[in-house]
Chain A
Amino acid sequence: MIRRLWSIIKKEFRQIRRDKRVLSILTLVPAFLLFLNGYALNFDVTHIRLAVVDLEKSVRSREFLNAFVTSGYFDVVDVLPSAEEATTLLDDAEIRAALVIPGDFSANLLSGRTVDVQVLVDGVDANAATTVIGYVQAVTLQYSRGILLSALSKIGRQNYIPINYEARIWYNPELKSVKFLVPGLIGFILTITCVIATALSIVREKERNTIEQIVVSPVHAMEFIVGKLVPYALIALIAAVIVIFAAYVLFGVEVKGSFLNLFVATLLFVIAALGIGLFISTISESQQVAFQVAALASMLPTLILSGFIFPIRSMPLFLQIFSNITPAKYYLVILRGIILKGVGLAAYWEQMVYLVLFSLVVLGVSILRFRKTIG
Chain B
Amino acid sequence: MSNHAIEVERLTKRFGDFTAVDHIDFAVKEGEIFGFLGANGAGKSTTIRMLCALLQPTEGTARVGGHDITDAPEKVKETIGYMSQRFSLYEDLTVEENIHFFGKVYGLTDVALRERKAWALTMANLHGRETSITGTLPGGWKQRLALGCAVLHRPRIVFLDEPTSGVDPLMRRTFWELINELSSEGVTVLVTTHFLEEAEYCNDLILINAGRIIANGSPKELKRDHIKTPILEVQCSNVIEAMEWIEREPWAVETSVFGTNLHVSVSDEKAARAGIRKILKAKGMTLSSLDRITPSLEDVFLYLLDRESQRERTPV
Contact = CB atoms under 8 A, between A and B. Distances in A.
A150 interface: no
B295 to A, nearest CB: 37
A71 B133 CA distance: 66
Interface stretch (B10-18, B32-40, B87-95): B87-95
B93 A14 contact: yes
A215 B97 contact: no
Nearest to A217: B105
A200 to B, nearest CB: 14
A353 to B, nearest CB: 36
Interface string B82-115: 1010111111110001001110111100000000
Contacts of A19: 92
Nearest to B100: A7
Contact of B93 (A15, A215, A216, A374): A15
Interface stretch (A98-106, A204-212, A311-319): A204-212
A217 B97 CA distance: 17
Contacts of A219: 105
B54 A215 contact: yes
Interface in A336-375: 374-375
B106 A217 contact: yes
A3 B52 CA distance: 23
Given A14-B97, A209-B87, A217 B52 contact: no
Interface in A185-242: 208-219
A213 B82 CA distance: 7
A154 interface: no
B91 A212 contact: no
B107 A4 contact: yes
A145 interface: no
A15 B134 CA distance: 12
A11 interface: yes
Nearest to B79: A218
Contacts of B101: 7-8, 10-11
A147 B102 CA distance: 86
Interface residues of A, number: 25
Contacts of A7: 100-101, 104-105
A218 B89 contact: no
A8 to B, nearest CB: 8
A213 B52 CA distance: 11
Most buried by A among B88, B91, B97: B88
Interface in A1-50: 3-4, 6-8, 10-11, 14-15, 18-19
A212 B88 contact: yes
Contacts of A211: 88
Contact of A209 (B55, B82, B84, B100): B84
Interface string B43-55: 0000000001111
Contacts of A8: 101, 105
18 contacts: A6-B104, A7-B101, A7-B105, A10-B101, A15-B92, A15-B93, A18-B133, A209-B88, A210-B89, A213-B149, A214-B105, A216-B77, A216-B80, A216-B82, A216-B84, A218-B74, A218-B105, A218-B106
Interface of A: 3-4, 6-8, 10-11, 14-15, 18-19, 208-219, 374-375
Given A19-B92, A216-B54, 16 more contacts: A4-B104, A4-B107, A7-B100, A11-B90, A14-B97, A15-B93, A18-B92, A18-B93, A208-B88, A210-B90, A213-B84, A215-B54, A216-B80, A216-B82, A217-B77, A375-B54
